[in-house]
Amino acid sequence: MDFAYIADILPDILEGLGTTVSLFLWSMVISTVLGLVLALLRLSPLAPLRWFAGFYAWLVRGVPLLLIMFYVFFAFPELGRSLLFSPFWAAVVSLSLWTASYQAEAIRSGILAVDLGQFEAAEVLGMSRAHAMRRIVLPQSVRIIVPPFMGNAINTMKQTSLATVITVPEMALLTTRIISRDFKALEPLLALALIYLALTTLLVFAQQGLERAFRLKV
Amino acid sequence: MSWDVVWRSRAIFWEATWISVQLFVISLVLATALGLILALMRMSRHRALRWFSAAYVWIFRGLPALVILFFAFFWLGNSLGWSPFQSAILGLAASSGAYKAEIIRAGLLAVDPGQYEASEALGFSRAHYMRRIVIPQGIRVMIPNYVSNSTLLFKSTSLAAVIGLTELTGRSRQLANSTFQPIEILTAAGVIYLVVTSLMTLSQGWFERRFAVKV
């Protein structure tokens, strides 16, 4: 193993770190909003809205993310010119649609976990609805939501690597370019693996921090 | 839109689906064996075995499956002269095995350890106890996670497209390019995936009945 060579190529791989992280952050923001909407649809009293949310989950979870990426990148523009995305945004759209189907489930379980009778109890104690939401209901929901939500976030971080197939210059793509340029595979892949391990481990720490922050204090 | 391109390409779809199914079945068998070994190592009395298993699971679950596939293809497979198909199976099994290990371990831990003393009193050996007491009860706990994780593995076979295998996703992408009809071709591929994954989800009920307690 050639450590000097690893030090040489590390900057080349890290050039894609910004793209990997932006893919991740944009997908997290969009999928959280979309996941919240889907969770509320799933809990709606109107049956067609519930069916739509159930159908969405079945559809998106039933096919590979790679196929969703190809679909968004190659088939969406045929459906309408406004759906023509650059590779980066096609990857963000795919990752968001995919992650949202899992976040919807995480958020729904958090909403269901809180007994709504607590709103009445808070009212009796003279709390406003907003105050009760902020101090009573949300802290309980968040505690339930954090573990599955962060688990999904870690998966999304790993899946940003699939953007390689639609030529987004993130870390995995840059690594395959180095492999074909230098005809060496082990060193570039080890460097790439270490960066991904650092990123996912960082997210695990973030999860533990959030869990501690929202822990019951008695 | 004209959908007859899908019907005209049915032989290609069939062939590509068959490659996906082969990738899935072989890597599922290997991943299950690997997961069982890792789970037993994790519960071993020897500290080195426990550490090895924990490190394996941490590394392979912390990495994107695609990166593991790259190791199997560009490095190991290339140095050993393996075909992309063999490399893909190795990569998929090595990645999925880490998840299977956690599922199997959770199932085995769910069995009340007090039964060990009971079986010892009845004169069971430890191996006999594992085979006849722990595993039949553990399997019942594992089924839901095992099935949903296996559905995930079937979808992950699409990663083989990245290293040039013409399984369902990779072949459909080529076909979408050559026919200029990406909507029809990619929708058809999606329907095939949905049929297979839905059947797998439905099979969960069958497995649960198959391993139910018979009283």
Is residue A182 scored above 90 in pLDDT? yes
Is residue A216 scored above 80 in pLDDT? no
Contacts A176 to B, Cβ<8 Å:
70, 74
Whether B87 has its CB under 8 Å from any CB of chain A: the answer is no
Q: Residue ranges of the domains in chain B?
A: 21-165
In chain B, the residue whose alpha carbon lies closest to the alpha carbon of A71 is B186
Contacts B65 to A, Cβ<8 Å:
158
Give the tens place of pLDDT for each residue, B53-85: 999 999 999 999 999 999 999 999 999 999 999
Across the interface, whether the CB atoms of B194 and A59 are under 8 A apart is answered: yes
Residue A31: which of A87, A109, A95, A88 has the closest Cα? A95
C-beta separation of B141 from B106 below 8 A: yes
Q: Could you give the CA distance from residue B146 to residue B137 in angstroms, rounded to a whole number?
A: 14
Q: Count residue pairs from A and B with Cβ separation < 8 A.
A: 108
Taken in order A84, A85, A90, A93, is the CA torsion positive or negative? negative
DSSP string spanning chain B? --THHHHHTHHHHHHHHHHHHHHHHHHHHHHHHHHHHHHHHHTSS-HHHHHHHHHHHHHHHHS-HHHHHHIIIIIIIHHHT--HHHHHHHHHHHHHHHHHHHHHHHHHHTS-THHHHHHHHTT--HHHHIIIIIHHHHHHHHHHHHHHHHHHHHHHGGGGGGGT--SHHHHHHHHHHHHT-HHHHHHHHHHHHHHHHHHHHHHHHHHHHHTS---
**Model pLDDT, residue B201:** 93
Residue written as tokens 């009760």? A132
Across the interface, whether the CB atoms of A62 and B67 are under 8 A apart is answered: no
Q: Could you give the CA distance from residue B4 to residue B94 in angstroms, rounded to a whole number?
A: 40
**ipTM beyond 0.95?**
no
Is residue B42 scored above 90 in pLDDT? yes
Give the tens place of pLDDT for each residue, B9-23: 999 999 999 999 999
**pTM for the whole thing?**
0.91
Whether B159 has its CB under 8 Å from any CB of chain A: the answer is yes
Contacts B64 to A, Cβ<8 Å:
158-162, 172, 196
**Distances A81 to A73, A75, A78, A89 between C-alpha atoms, Å:** 12, 11, 7, 15
- Quote the tokens at residue A76: 């969406």
Q: List B residues 94-133 in contact with A (Cβ-Cβ < 8 A).
A: none
User: What domains, with CATH codes, occur in chain A?
Assistant: 3-213 (1.10.3720.10)
State percent of chain A over pLDDT 70: 100
Across the interface, whether the CB atoms of A71 and B186 are under 8 A apart is answered: yes
Binning pLDDT at 50, 70 and 90, where does residue A114 land?
A: confident
Name the residue facing B70 among A66, A78, A189 (closest C-beta). A189
Cβ-proximal residues to B102 (8 Å cutoff; 6+ apart), any chain: B39, B57, B61
CB burial readout B1-20, b (16+ within 10 A) else e: eeeebbeebeebbeebbebb
Tell me which architecture the domain covering B21-165 has in CATH.
Orthogonal Bundle (1.10)
**Model pLDDT, residue A15:** 95
**Model pLDDT, residue B215:** 65
Nearest-CA distance from A118 to chain B in Å?
Answer: 33
- Quote the tokens at residue A62: 């039933």
- Quote the tokens at residue A143: 């505690």
Whether A156 has its CB under 8 Å from any CB of chain B: the answer is no
Whether A71 has its CB under 8 Å from any CB of chain B: the answer is yes
Q: Could you give the CA distance from residue A72 to residue A13 in angstroms, rounded to a whole number?
A: 26
- A41-44 contacts at long range (C-beta below 8 A, 24 or more positions apart): A42/A104, A42/A108, A43/A108, A43/A111, A43/A112
C-beta separation of A108 from A172 below 8 A: no
Whether A62 has its CB under 8 Å from any CB of chain B: the answer is yes
C-beta separation of B158 from B20 below 8 A: yes
Across the interface, whether the CB atoms of B158 and A172 are under 8 A apart is answered: no
Give the tens place of pLDDT for each residue, A137-174: 888 888 899 999 999 999 999 999 999 999 999 999 99
Q: Could you give the CA distance from residue B14 to residue B20 in angstroms, rounded to a whole number?
A: 10
Across the interface, whether the CB atoms of A158 and B71 are under 8 A apart is answered: no
